[in-house]
Homo-oligomer: A and B are copies of this chain.
Amino acid sequence: MMDNRFPFTRIVRGLPATVPFVGPEALERRRGEPFRVRVGANESAFGISPLAREAMFRAVERLSWYNDPENHEIRSAIAGFHGVPFENVSVGSGIDDLLGLVVRVFVEPGERVVTSLGAYPTFNYHVNGFGGLPHFVPYRDNRNDLEGLAEAAAKTDARLVYLSNPDNPTGTWHPAANIRAFERTLPDRCLLILDEAYSEFATQDAPPPMAPIRPRVIRMRTFSKAHGMAGARIGYAVADAVVVEALEKVRHHYGVNRVAQAGALASLEDTEFVASVVRSVAEGRTDYALLGEGLGLPTLPSATNFVAFDAGTVDRANTILDTLQRHGAFVRKPAAAPLDRFFRVTVGTPEERLLFAGILRTVLAAL
């Protein structure tokens, strides 16, 4: 119950005091010591582009100046990169920021949105924060249930459907053609947020080009994963110009910092660097698959920079996770059925993978 000395809005009075994620730093503060290996937040183990590093050093030197509130340079570069018009691109301080804006412009208090049960929690955080009502569709065969999502969208008259493809937290994916078919089944007054944060890693089935723009689809990308710039906070949406225009009317215009703008601009051009990260991640996924096979922990196929290990039962998965963390490995796991028997491990460097494998073997031996 909130303190009624303060005139909070009705929505805020009803919000719980939860956060989408507890960061590894908070866990370390509770542990009293740093983790030995940080493979829980799908951060890139392969660093940043050397060109981006140089650009960001130069940006630090000019940090007394505000960032360009229009994000003009990076927005133009992104438009050019994808072959879409400038007015179809919106830049934000990460996909998290853009998810909040999209919810804000489309969801009235009391209206419905649809998402998979156990999908990205920050989307739900924003939906709750604006008084929307999330409707959850369970995963099916460890993938987003496209039929179930479309049915739920129609049944609940949803304003938005959230879908990440490739998916987090499973790493699985639907072929591009199936996503296109899915888009066409959505009701008229419903938009699709297609979160493609991991798209660079999807070597098995690349996402379709951005052009031509599909009016009812808002596609989101980030510099946090393959570009290795998670701490910089920059991502973007590609959408209908009318949608972008609406985001312009509510966004935090000075929200994307100058260092991130400069780094993203340089990193976008360093396609060779990104390709090398994608190759390194693919090697790591194979390592993890072999590791899981050897330890009786089958892994899901992954088109991302992480791998989900199947512990067989929820209890065993929870025990493994807790013990891993106690042994100094930062890892996360899904909380909701049927994915709750998995734990999720980010692809580390070869050294980190070796270290993680050692800790995992110790943990399993002691069970």
Contact = CB atoms under 8 A, between A and B. Distances in A.
A184 interface: no
Interface secondary structure of A, over-half rule = loop
A231 interface: yes
Contact of A257 (B3, B70, B231, B240): B231
Contacts of A240: 6
Contact of A9 (B17, B44, B107, B232): B107
Of A16, A231, A263, chain B has the most CB atoms within 10 Å of the CB of: A231
Given A25-B68, A250-B129, A255 B243 contact: no
A180 interface: no
B44 A2 contact: no
B253 A96 contact: yes
Contact of A17 (B8, B26, B248, B256): B248
Interface string A210-225: 0000010000000010
A297 interface: no
A196 interface: no
A45 interface: yes
A246 interface: yes
B12 A105 contact: yes
A279 interface: no
Nearest to A100: B252
Contacts of A94: 254-255
Contacts of A53: 60-61
A15 interface: yes
Nearest to A23: B69
Given A9-B108, A48-B63, A246-B12, A260 B263 contact: no
11 contacts: A5-B215, A7-B106, A12-B105, A16-B249, A21-B69, A47-B64, A65-B230, A93-B93, A232-B259, A257-B257, A259-B259
Interface of A: 2-3, 5-10, 12, 15-17, 19-21, 23, 25-26, 29, 38, 41, 43-48, 53, 56-57, 59-70, 72, 93-94, 96-97, 100, 104-108, 122, 129, 159, 189-191, 215, 224, 228-233, 240, 242-243, 245-246, 248-250, 252-260, 263
Top-10 shortest CB links A-B: A231-B258, A25-B68, A64-B228, A3-B242, A15-B249, A233-B257, A63-B231, A66-B230, A7-B189, A12-B105
